[in-house]
Amino acid sequence: MTTNHGSGLSRIILFYAIAFGFSWAFWGPAALLAQGVITLPDAARGFLSGSTPAAWGPLIAALVVTWAYQGSAGLRSLLSRLVRLRFSAAWYLVALGLLPAIIGLAGLVATALGDAPPPSPALDAPATLPFAFLWIFFLGGPLQEEAGWRGIAAAGLSPRLGALGASLLTGVLWGLWHLPLFYIPTEDIYYNRPMFGLMGSTALLSVLIYWVYLNTGRSLFAAMLMHTSFNFANYLFTTLETDTGGLVYFILMGATVAVVAVGFGPRTLCRADQSRES
């Protein structure tokens, strides 16, 4: 069955409204509370300081929008792509290995240039690494986000902007979605960090994940694997904690995106017939 991914701008707008609205309904008050802009009862403060369902906004939005516009058949198609495991071993290698290789190489270059990243705490307990990978896959972003960012947003914008333009715009908005986290002190990887750095990173990352998604028959499982490999690599390597490491990372990511765009074509980012759903 082939799903129509360009089913109207209203579909994309509704997706973003739900994704941002749901997530920011939890993150927004937490950020305002942390910055002393508002006060809340102790029970509400405790809830917002703990684990909330905010990160599930993109998946919830994807499910709602797909059901509203395509009904149960569209919903089954979307869910089937979350477990679409049948694609070539070469793309498994790309999804799992490309981003860790870029981040690891950036760390080595930074070290050679005299700005070595700090030691990685993750490497002190190597037996925990498989569990960390699984935790990231299911609860650290990929499952909560990929059906939305790649399956709805980028796919829906591609007929208008081409695959490269759609994935870049999706990546910028993906970064913007994290905005409240930059004002919450307990969110260590975001708080007091440069927002534009994240948006640049998510824009480039979005292109590479969408490229893999398209070339694996629109497998959201492949997209989730690549998203997981990125988060896991940043857990494993401390490359981005140094200015030099961050700069080299951006150079390598930009170069990789350029090679992909030239090699596969910016309009489709895909070999002929590879993005067709089966």
Can you tell me the distance from the alpha carbon of 272 to that of 214, in angstroms, rounded to the nearest whole number?
10
CA 173-179-182 angle, to 5 degrees, is 145
Asked if residue 155 belongs to a domain, the reply is yes
Query: Does pLDDT of 277 surpass 60?
Result: no
Residues 6+ apart with CB under 8 A from 100: 229, 230, 232, 233, 236, 237
* Confidence category of residue 5, pLDDT binned at 50, 70, 90: very low
Can you tell me the distance from the alpha carbon of 120 to that of 105, in angstroms, rounded to the nearest whole number?
15
249-258 tens-digit pLDDT: 999 999 999 9
Asked if residue 276 belongs to a domain, the reply is no
pLDDT at 170: 98
Asked if residue 270 belongs to a domain, the reply is no
107-133: b (≥16 Cβ within 10 Å) or e? bebbeeeebebeeeebeeeeeeeeebb
Asked if residue 3 belongs to a domain, the reply is no
Q: Count other Cβ atoms within 10 Å, centred on residue 43.
A: 8
DSSP helix/strand/coil, 202: helix
Residues 6+ apart with CB under 8 A from 200: 175, 250
Q: Which domain holds residue 21?
A: 9-264
DSSP helix/strand/coil, 268: coil
Asked if residue 52 belongs to a domain, the reply is yes
pTM: 0.94
Asked if residue 271 belongs to a domain, the reply is no
Query: Does pLDDT of 50 surpass 70?
Result: no
Query: Does pLDDT of 46 surpass 90?
Result: no
Least confident window among 41-55, 130-144, 225-239:
41-55
Whole-angstrom Cα Rg for the chain: 19
Asked if residue 4 belongs to a domain, the reply is no
Phi, psi of 103 (to 5 degrees): -70, -40
Q: How many domains does the chain have?
A: 1
Least confident window among 32-46, 127-141, 147-161:
32-46
Asked if residue 277 belongs to a domain, the reply is no
pLDDT at 274: 59
pLDDT at 278: 42
151-187 tens-digit pLDDT: 999 999 999 999 999 999 999 999 999 999 999 998 9
